[in-house]
Amino acid sequence: MTETTSRADIVVIGAGHAGGEVASRIRQGGFAGSIALIGEEPYLPYHRPPLSKAFLAGQTSVEQLLIRSKGSYEKAKIDWYPSTVVERIDREAHRLRLASGDWFEYGKLVLATGGRPRRLTLPGSDLKGLHYMRGIADVDALRLEFVPGKRLIIVGGGYIGLEVASVAINAGLDVEVVEVASRVLARVTGPELSAFYETTHKAAGVKLRLSTVVDGFEPSAMQSDRVGAVRCGDGAMIPADLVLVAVGLIPNVELAQAAGLAIGNGIKVDELGRTLDPDIYAVGDCTEFPLPCMDGERLRLESVPSAIEQARAVASLINGVPNPYDLIPWFWSDQYNLKLQSIGLHRGHDQVVIRQPTRAEGFVAFYLKEGRVIAADCVNAILEFNVAKRLVAENIHIDANILANPETNLKTLASQVHQDG
């Protein structure tokens, strides 16, 4: 077979949120050269957060998931290469080796390789009926097994695990969540919010098994190549018809690492997305970068807003008007009729202020450090979330009693904070 060689002035590897955004922003910024967007999936860049929510529930179609239409990429003259795998980066020759055996030359390269679900290597983890969730195909496979009355065991009590639990219980499945930590959402929030969601899920009929290690998976008595039970470290055997494993994300850094780029908890980049190679940038879930709101501490965030902001920073640099990443991280999660919106990182807080929002079924937790609001978790509390964004950004002292007092007008408080600052 004869090898072929393609070329583009800008090549983006990874057609997710970050990849699609950086390609589009580079063009919108006036870049006149050729742009190529390479993705492993057969889909244009699409919204991933709905996968474990509305898309799993069958409320959203693939077309509705797309961030931009195919025509918008064509109009912007962004060449899309679906179902294409890059196996190697040749930095010296400025080219990529594809799984097909072909080569792709680049002028500048942007790595937006994202991450993949952390897989378990326990006994029985190769049995049929074990699912992971990252892309459309994963959800399609899981949805086929969403039959009322089936027993679904979810390993992992993080955002994805709990979001799937809420969809599954509403679909009539028997759902149990197994979590190694002593509370759900332990990695991303404080005990107060964890307790709120534990109560919510139990009330909906979800069973929670906390502080529990999974030791392996047992085959079904009826079908030896299919999962029939989850074996726990305490000896318990939980019957299962299907299992979702949601225990975190591993950043896809292998391409960058093999090419000799610096790797930490992700591909190391600066506030403009630059790697140690002046012609290679990286954005999104695969990167470790300095966070301004954490005094430049280097972190890796799994966050759509963060990925988009990084993409814009890289595009600004390529277009000659550098605008460094300067976003306070924020996240969201939809479970049942509850919308959680979180701003900032609560790590290091020394005080939690609880305030009831305007809606009775909501919940707000402000996290303070030395009297300053550094983060907030807001459930069904849009007003409080919008105020919290300003309070975290201002980074000034606020009296906790005033913050907690339901008579305090938060919108007025935020305005006063801004004026005083």
The pLDDT of 2-19, averaged and rounded, is 94
Name the β-bridge partners of 403: none
Q: What is the pLDDT of residue 416?
A: 59
| 337-420 CATH fold | Enolase-like; domain 1 (3.30.390)
The pLDDT of 207-234, averaged and rounded, is 97
Q: What is the pLDDT of residue 85?
A: 98
| 5-116+250-318 CATH fold | FAD/NAD(P)-binding domain (3.50.50)
Above 80 in pLDDT, residue 391? yes
Q: What is the pLDDT of residue 419?
A: 47
Q: What is the pLDDT of residue 62?
A: 96
CA separation for the pair 389, 168 (Å, rounded): 32
Neighbours of 323 (CB within 10 A): 15
CA separation for the pair 168, 129 (Å, rounded): 15
In the chain, which residues fall in CATH 3.30.390.30? 337-420
Q: What is the mean pLDDT of the chain?
A: 94
Above 60 in pLDDT, residue 417? no
Q: Which tens digits make up the pLDDT trace of 342-390? A: 999 988 899 999 987 666 677 889 999 999 999 999 999 888 899 899 9
pLDDT band at 2 (very low <50, low <70, confident <90, very high): low
Query: Hey, which CATH number is domain 119-247, 2.40.50.100, 3.40.50.720, 3.40.50.2020, 3.50.50.60?
Result: 3.50.50.60
Among 166, 208, 160, 206, smallest CA distance to 57 is for 166
Q: What is the pLDDT of residue 360?
A: 63
Note whether 341 and 385 are within 8 A (CB): yes
Q: Tokens 């009775």 belong to which residue?
A: 360
Q: Which tens digits make up the pLDDT trace of 292-314? A: 888 889 999 999 999 999 999 99
The pLDDT of 156-170, averaged and rounded, is 97
Q: What is the pTM of this model?
A: 0.94
In the chain, which residues fall in CATH 3.50.50.60? 5-116+250-318, 119-247
pLDDT band at 421 (very low <50, low <70, confident <90, very high): very low
Above 50 in pLDDT, residue 45? yes
pLDDT band at 414 (very low <50, low <70, confident <90, very high): low
pLDDT band at 399 (very low <50, low <70, confident <90, very high): confident
The pLDDT of 124-151, averaged and rounded, is 97
Q: What is the pLDDT of residue 294?
A: 84
Q: What is the pLDDT of residue 413?
A: 67
CA separation for the pair 115, 227 (Å, rounded): 26
Above 70 in pLDDT, residue 48? yes
| pLDDT over 90, % of the chain | 85
Q: Which tens digits make up the pLDDT trace of 84-134? A: 999 999 999 999 999 999 999 999 999 999 999 999 999 999 999 999 999
